[in-house]
Amino acid sequence: MARSDRFLKACRLEQPDRTPIWLMRQAGRYMEEYRRLRERHTFMEMCKTPELAVEVTLQPIRRFDLDAAIIFSDILLPLEKMGAALQFTDTGGPAIDRPLRSKQDVAAMRAIDPEQDLAYLLSALEMTRAELAGKVPLIGFSGAPFTLASYLIEGGGSKHYQLTKSFMYRETKLFHLLMEKLTDMTLANLNAQIRHGAQAVQVFDSWIGILSVMDYREYVMPHMKRLFAGLDASVPRIHFGVGTCHLLGLMKDAGGDVIGVDWRVPIDEAWLSMGRTRAIQGNLDPVTLFSPGGYLERQVRDILRRVGGASGHIFNLGHGILPGTPVENVDLLIRTVHAYGGDGA
């Protein structure tokens, strides 16, 4: 049963038999199985049809020796039920028509009832748990309030997050109200996911790294504290962001049993800067998977050497796996991680 509890043990700072590994966006476009299904269904259909979401969730688990499954979904989906006009374009990622601008827009945002509004997701979690039959644990997830707010305000991705920050600075009360509503939604969403089978949850605050330390403390941290205080603590909670070198201490203080870091800071330094009181997840640059095998192995072993066998490391990429990633390198990555704990390579 080693594979089944590696991930959860590491989340609890206990020592598993091998370093566990899973990959952000492990179910996705780099897999042929996924692309074949995607030819016949829109992204939205795949998320909202439990049978398809289950199938996609399981594809990487069948193909690779991964130590956790993560439910196939998207952080923006719950925003639809709050009133956002969400679209996924085939090329340019997500887009939100009529981005959030006014007091009326924020006031109009509805609370969600996950049992009703995210029934497709909760069913998919239950069905996936049944299919997995304890082979590996199942992770649920949500976007964090700030990252969700930035999509709502910008209407999509952004380079400078100018609208989001201007909103924050100019309409501070309204921004906090928006963050409160998003925190309520995230809490309801994640606790429902846990009730319906998620054995761990990850909060993606993907774009938080664009904020200064001062702005994080003032505009985001109180909401993140409330979020983590309200999350069902019977399962591990992973707190992830990109470009967070300057925020790691505050993110740890805001909450999370595991802090997810990107590739920028060496993992031992990142861990030290958090006092090693939480587990750490990371931190291979996803682009390294495009490098030749020998180079990739050296980079993977460098991370494991830096961790030095300490309890509480979950191997992952520093951000989602990229489309076009060679599948054989994903396999090599996972084998290299597992071999390191085993024969001492």
User: Which CB, 197 or 243, lies closer to a second copy?
Assistant: 243
| The one among 176, 225, 264, 335 contacting a second copy by CB under 8 A | 264
User: Which CB, 29 or 135, lies closer to a second copy?
Assistant: 29
Query: Contact, 69 vs 197, CB < 8 A?
Result: no
| CA gap 227, 190 in Å, rounded | 10
Q: Give the nearest distance from C-beta 288 to a second copy in angstroms.
A: 7
| The one among 101, 176, 195, 246 contacting a second copy by CB under 8 A | 246
User: Which CB, 292 or 344, lies closer to a second copy?
Assistant: 292
Q: Measure CA of the first residue to CA of the last residue in the chain; give whole Å.
A: 23
| CA gap 100, 118 in Å, rounded | 22
Tell me whether residue 253 is exposed, middle or buried, using C-beta atoms within 10 angstroms of its C-beta: 0 to 12, 13 to 18, 19 or more. middle
Distances (CA, A) of 152 to 65, 126, 146, 259: 37, 29, 10, 25
Q: Give the nearest distance from C-beta 247 to a second copy in angstroms.
A: 8
Count how many Cα atoms sit within 13 Å of the Cα of residue 220 in the half-sphere of its side chain.
28
Question: CB under 8 A: which stretch of 8-16, 112-120, 258-266, 308-316 binds a second copy?
Answer: 258-266
- Neighbouring C-beta atoms of residue 277, cutoff 10 Å: 10
Q: Which of residues 192-221 bind a second copy (CB under 8 A)?
A: 209-215
Does residue 292 touch a second copy according to CB under 8 A? yes
Does residue 288 touch a second copy according to CB under 8 A? yes
Q: Give the nearest distance from C-beta 292 to a second copy in angstroms.
A: 6
- Would you please indicate which residues are annotated as catalytic (active-site) residues? 25, 29, 38, 74, 151
| CA gap 179, 174 in Å, rounded | 9
User: Which CB, 36 or 305, lies closer to a second copy?
Assistant: 305
Q: Give the nearest distance from C-beta 171 to a second copy in angstroms.
A: 10
User: Which CB, 102 or 166, lies closer to a second copy?
Assistant: 166
205 beta partners? 241
Q: Which of residues 48-87 bind a second copy (CB under 8 A)?
A: none
Structure tokens at 172: 């501070």
Question: CB under 8 A: which stretch of 20-28, 123-131, 187-195, 241-249 binds a second copy?
Answer: 241-249
Does residue 291 touch a second copy according to CB under 8 A? yes
Does residue 245 touch a second copy according to CB under 8 A? yes
Q: Give the nearest distance from C-beta 297 to a second copy in angstroms.
A: 12
Tell me whether residue 219 is exposed, middle or buried, using C-beta atoms within 10 angstroms of its C-beta: 0 to 12, 13 to 18, 19 or more. buried
Does residue 286 touch a second copy according to CB under 8 A? yes
| CA gap 334, 21 in Å, rounded | 7
Q: Which amino acid is at 46?
A: M
| CA gap 134, 40 in Å, rounded | 30
E strands, 98-232, are 138-143, 200-205
Does residue 253 touch a second copy according to CB under 8 A? no
Question: Given the rule CB under 8 A, which residues bind a second copy?
Answer: 157, 159-162, 165-166, 169-170, 209-215, 243, 245-246, 263-266, 269, 285-288, 290-292, 295, 302, 319, 322
